[in-house]
Every structure is written in structure tokens, then in C-alpha cells.
Amino acid sequence: MERFTPVADGVFLLKVPFTGVWTGVVLVLSDDEPILVDSGGSAETVDSTIVPALADLGLTLSDIGWVLATHIHGDHVGGIARMRALAPSIKVGVFHESRTRMQQPLAYSREIRAKFPEHSAAPPAVLDGAEPDLLLEDDAMIGPLRTIHTPGHDTDACCFLDTRSGTLITGDSLQLNGTISQGCALLFDPGRYLASLHRLLDLPVQNIVCGHPYLPLGETAIGEEAARRFLATCVGCYEHDRGFVAGMAHAGVADPLAVAHALVEEIGGVAPAKMFLPMHTVAAYQEAAEGENA
Ligand SMILES: [Zn+2]
């Protein structure tokens, strides 16, 4: 059985099964109410994985005060409606820009697939929404956690910084070269990713815990030096991919599918059967470059 494993004092990571690669749920224990960051991808994994892992620590969902979402992708918010059905006292907190997506995550999932329909995986069969109890502003505190808006992976992506231990809970905000199932980094908003990384480099980050294992460094960085190296490597991956897409454009290769295949191969990744995620990254870089040149 999967268990919550300690990352730092009062911060625990649970690896919840998901198609292709696990998705992380982070438990934060403090003098305030317990907090979960993200919820796994489905109602089923709440029942099969999250509830038993909480029980292993002597907790039930009714003990949890808050579930916070790092961003509104199905593998991170797919369990929220089920948590609230099982424990109506759980409060849901999302970044203020995420409200509409949290109400209708399946609509947003379909929207992501609409750009490259023939290259997209099917959306989840079920992805229930929830009305947030609290819309978080940038820098808002929930217990010991500070909300840090870090656009890049998506426009509304956030990290939560545990101000006691300096542990940064990133969801998908730090992409490195992406997960094994993505092929490369997934950035819907690359134009703001670098500023997000620099903002994080200016914070007293002591540890990092991500929502998936990211290539090539994995899901955690423990200690200030490892955390800075992780962030610096994200900068390097970003600069590489941006330059690669620009170089292909100079060479006259602009088709997102062709560039995506070349990029995945260039970084030594595995091309997914459905290429929509690398294609989104490539198209977003192309659009950001057009914006700069306009
Ligand atoms: Zn995501």
C-alpha cells in the first residue's frame, strides 16, 4: 500500500496511481487544521489510496481542514469532489484565476484537447467540479502555507511554500524536461515561466516536492543546495527548449507536430502515442516568440 512519506517536518508526500505516472498528494500537518495539496486524479483513488494512507496516520478525511489545488488539471483535482462528498466539512481553496476551471474541470480538459484533436488523448470519462470555498490571492496564507502564483505550466499554476520548513510544494509548476509520459516539459504559458523560476530562486526554499517524478532529477530536492540546483536546471531546460523551437523556426520548420517530435528526440525523451502535450509546449513557445517579435 502507498503511504504518506515524510519530505520535511510536517510535510508528507503520497504517490497516487494515475495513467502512465503517479500523481502526488501532499499532506501538511501543523498546529492549524491538516491540509491536503492536490487530490489525485479520480474518485476511485481517493477511496483506494488516499483514505487508507490517511488512516495509516490515524486520520480520516473529516480531520482535513483544507484541500488546495496547485492548478486545475484532472490528475490534480480529480479527487476533490469525492473528498467533499465523503467529508462535507473539507474546504476547497484554489487560486482566484482557477475558479471557473475548478467549477468545470472537464470542460477545461476538453478545451485543452480541442487545439490538436487528432493528436489528443481522450478526456477523462468523469471529472467532477467543485465550488471553491476560498479564492486565494498571490501570497495568501493558509495555515503555514504561502500561496505563490507561478505561471508557466499553466496560467493559473501555483506553488505552496511551507514557511516553517521552507518546503516548496510545486504541483506541476517546475517542469524540468517533463515526466516520462509527457515527452518534454509541458508549458502552456512559457512567456511567464522564467519570471516564476526567478521569483522562486529569490525565496528561502529549502526543499522541493513535485506532483510527479520529473526528468532528469525526480520528484524531490532536499536541502537548499539541491533545491537551487533543481530550480537552475528548470531554467536550463526552459532556455534549451525555447532556443530549440526558435532554431527550428529559423530553419523553416514550424509544424507543431514535427517540431514536437524533434524536441522530444533532442532531449532524449520518449514520444507519447498522443503528441498533444509536446505540441502545446511548442505552439506556446512559437506564440510567445511571435508576441516578442510583433
Ligand atoms: Zn498539470
**What pTM does this model have?**
0.97
8 A C-beta contact, residue 14 and residue 49: yes
User: Ligand 1 centroid vs 251 CA: distance in angstroms?
Assistant: 31
What gap in Å lies between CA 10 and CA 253, rounded to an integer? 49
pLDDT, residue 219, reads 98
What gap in Å lies between CA 229 and CA 44, rounded to an integer? 36
User: Ligand 1 centroid vs 119 CA: distance in angstroms?
Assistant: 18
| Vertex 57: Cα angle to 53 and 61 (nearest 5) | 65
pLDDT, residue 87, reads 98
Tens digit of pLDDT for each residue in 26-37?
999 999 999 999
pLDDT, residue 292, reads 83
pLDDT, residue 293, reads 77
Read off the C-alpha cell for 78. 480529480
User: Ligand 1 centroid vs 186 CA: distance in angstroms?
Assistant: 8
User: Ligand 1 centroid vs 154 CA: distance in angstroms?
Assistant: 7
User: Ligand 1 centroid vs 29 CA: distance in angstroms?
Assistant: 24
Domain map (residue ranges) of the chain: 5-237
8 A C-beta contact, residue 148 and residue 161: yes
User: Ligand 1 centroid vs 153 CA: distance in angstroms?
Assistant: 7
For the chain, which ranges sit under pLDDT 50? none
pLDDT, residue 99, reads 98
pLDDT, residue 143, reads 98
User: Ligand 1 centroid vs 82 CA: distance in angstroms?
Assistant: 20
Give the CATH architecture of domain 5-237.
4-Layer Sandwich (3.60)
Instruction: Compute and round to an integer the Cα radius of gyration of the chain.
Output: 18
